[in-house]
């Protein structure tokens, strides 16, 4: 993989609809131990099997989420498929201020909010090879009800349209997770090099 050039800190935002694989891409990038701060989102749903507090999400109660929102500790927040999610300010702004690159994983709405707050953020949309494949992936993970799966698939068309406003679209092909993660890494390296040269 290419070297990451020195330069101004970069906010990389991963988004995409359910079943695209943005969590899997993020997890693989984390496993590669990149010199990046991986922003951890607050979430009011219970942990799924295998999820780890503080790595996958900050799992909080509705009361704690209310407090975070009230005290201005969330840089962005939204209700996503009935779950309250928000990115704590200290997961994005504090690392950037100390010169660290940050990778945040959020929904499409959250990506545009982060772009408003950090105008030079790089938005990357993780897409599946097809809507049918996204639906198959959702069904195979056995974490959503049939109704929740239908809602996620119905939302996908609008999110694909919104992806046209992203800086990059990375297709996560079936059995191609490594390639998708490498492409995200290459984007990061290219953006760091470009910005460091200006």
| Mean pLDDT to the nearest integer, 155-163 | 71
Which among 20, 40, 47 has a CA at the least distance from the CA of 103? 40
**Pairwise pLDDT comparison (162 vs 50), residue with the higher score:** 50
- Which residues, 6+ apart, have CB-to-CB distance to 78 below 8 Å? 84, 85, 86, 107, 109, 110, 113
| Mean pLDDT to the nearest integer, 39-46 | 94
Q: How does DSSP assign 127-146, residue by residue?
A: E-S-HHHHHHHHHHHT-S-H
Indicate if the pLDDT at residue 198 is higher than 60. no
Indicate if the pLDDT at residue 197 is higher than 90. no
User: In three state form, how does the secondary structure of 25-39 look?
Assistant: HHHHHHHCCCCCEEC
């Amino acid at each position: 993989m290419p070297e990451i050039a020195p330069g101004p800190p970069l906010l990389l935002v991963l988004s995409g609809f359910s079943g695209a694989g943005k969590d899997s891409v993020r997890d693989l990038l984390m496993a590669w131990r990149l010199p990046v701060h991986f922003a951890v989102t607050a979430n009011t749903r219970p942990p799924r099997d295998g999820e780890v507090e503080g790595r996958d999400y900050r799992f909080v109660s509705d009361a704690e989420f209310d407090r975070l929102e009230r005290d201005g500790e969330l840089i962005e927040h939204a209700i996503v498929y009935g779950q309250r999610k928000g990115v704590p300010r200290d997961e994005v702004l504090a690392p950037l201020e100390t010169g660290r690159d940050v990778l945040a994983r959020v929904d499409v709405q959250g990506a545009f909010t982060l772009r408003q707050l950090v105008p030079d953020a790089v938005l990357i949309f993780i897409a599946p090879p097809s809507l049918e494949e996204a639906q198959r992936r959702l069904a195979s993970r056995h974490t959503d009800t049939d109704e929740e799966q239908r809602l996620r698939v119905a939302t996908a068309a609008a999110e694909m349209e919104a992806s046209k406003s992203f800086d990059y679209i990375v297709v996560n092909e079936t059995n191609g997770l490594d390639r998708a993660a490498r492409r995200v890494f290459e984007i990061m390296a290219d953006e760091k090099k470009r910005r460091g040269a200006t």
